[in-house]
Amino acid sequence: MTPVEREQIPAARRVVVKVGSSSISGANAAQIGPLVDALAEAHGRGVEVVLVSSGAIATGMPYLQLAARPTDLATQQAAAAVGQNVLIVRYQESLDRYRIVAGQVLLTAGDLENPAHRSNAQRAMERLLGLRILPIVNENDTVATHEIRFGDNDRLAAMVAMLVKADLLVLLSDVDALYTRPPHEPGAQRIDRVAAGDQLGEVEFGDIGAAGVGTGGASTKVSAARMAADSGTAVLLTATTLVREALGGHPVGTWFEPTVSTPTA
């Protein structure tokens, strides 16, 4: 069931949750545990959960003795190759507490735009979910040549939600909701709800996330939310620390109403 209100979220059949680099790497690596707790709680009540997780490059940086996110593509790819391995191990070790098995899925936006690749990815994801495996999706950084342009996986998350026909997409960041301007600025007001088709012309976009780690910002999250909502998937944008409340249907974050298609006669 596609929820049309936050309180209907617990009844959603299939949910995609996206978490950014700054939320689960570096000093915030310990947030993986509470995130997994929330995902496992939803999984335990029968929800089919897909996690889209950034963080491979940020997680690999310390192992390459890098103090800042690399700017050249080859080093980004090297950091991702190391970090993806570490990241999936951290998730699986946390999921072990609930006897949930993760399945690693590495994609590029190009894969989802190519009909053959898209069909293969869709078939694999459906099989994983049917087997009660929790797919963990990330950008395939070692082969993607323009990783940065996808907004820290926000667009990829929307595309995955559309691929698996998710009822709900939850976009997590360091900020609890969308605001009319960057929340640290005077006069910023929290936006509780975005109606279907609302272009948010009054919003002044700023970055969301820790500088130097992720690549996304409020504008990329809104663009991804709009893409998913326009396809009929409800979207909730909120903070990683509020993921349990979000999946429980509590009044947190910014709710993007899904576009409801009208049956033809």
Instruction: Determine whether the annotation assigns residue 153 to a binding site.
Output: yes
Instruction: Determine whether the annotation assigns residue 141 to a binding site.
Output: yes
3-state secondary structure the chain: CCCCCHHHHHHCCEEEEEECHHHHCHHHHHHHHHHHHHHHHHHHCCCEEEEEECCHHHHHHHHHCCCCCCCCHHHHHHHHHHHHHHHHHHHHHHHHHHCCCEEEEEECHHHHHCHHHHHHHHHHHHHHHHCCCEEEEEECCCCCCCHHHHCCCHHHHHHHHHHCCCCEEEEEECCCCEECCCCCCCCCCEECEECCCCCCCCCCCCCCCCCCCCCCCHHHHHHHHHHHHHCCCEEEEEEHHHHHHHHCCCCCCEEECCCCCCCCC
Instruction: Determine whether the annotation assigns residue 18 to a binding site.
Output: yes
Instruction: Determine whether the annotation assigns residue 37 to a binding site.
Output: no
**Binding-site annotation: residue ranges for substrate:** 54, 141, 153
**Binding-site annotation: residue ranges for ATP:** 18, 173-174
**Binding-site annotation: residue ranges:** 18, 54, 141, 153, 173-174
